[in-house]
Amino acid sequence: AQSVTQPDIHITVSEGASLELRCNYSYGATPYLFWYVQSPGQGLQLLLKYFSGDTLVQGIKGFEAEFKRSQSSFNLRKPSVHWSDAAEYFCAVGSNFGNEKLTFGTGTRLTIIP
């Protein structure tokens, strides 16, 4: 069965600093990988996704993520965070085998300090 681990429950970053959120997955074949962001009291918004091809994926709001098969990782990065990036971030994994649902990580809460 597939699984996702987000090792960091809570991260605090200064505004303007760079950000990296970690995501490790467990899956026997090439996974489909997603990052979602959830602002307080809101639904989940898709930031970016990886299916195949270029392992560096660009998303919305200036985010990017890199798929590293050797490390079973799909870390999310942003070069300079803004106060509006404060939110909960979820990594998710799916498969291409059909009739599969997404498996979500437990999330990382991002706090931005001035």
Partner 1 sequence: DAMVIQNPRYQVTQFGKPVTLSCSQTLNHNVMYWYQQKSSQAPKLLFHYYDKDFNNEADTPDNFQSRRPNTSFCFLDIRSPGLGDAAMYLCATSRGLAGAQITQYFGPGTRLTVL
Which chain residues interact with partner 1 by CB under 8 A?
A: 32, 34, 36, 41-46, 49, 51, 88, 90, 94-102, 104-107, 109
- Reference 16, options 87, 112, 97; nearest CA is 112
Look up residue 66 and give its two tokens. 């890199």
- Which CB atom, from 20 or from 100, has the smaller least distance to partner 1? 100
| Minimal distance, residue 80 CB to partner 1, in Å | 27
d(CA 91, CA 106): 8
- Which CB atom, from 9 or from 70, has the smaller least distance to partner 1? 9
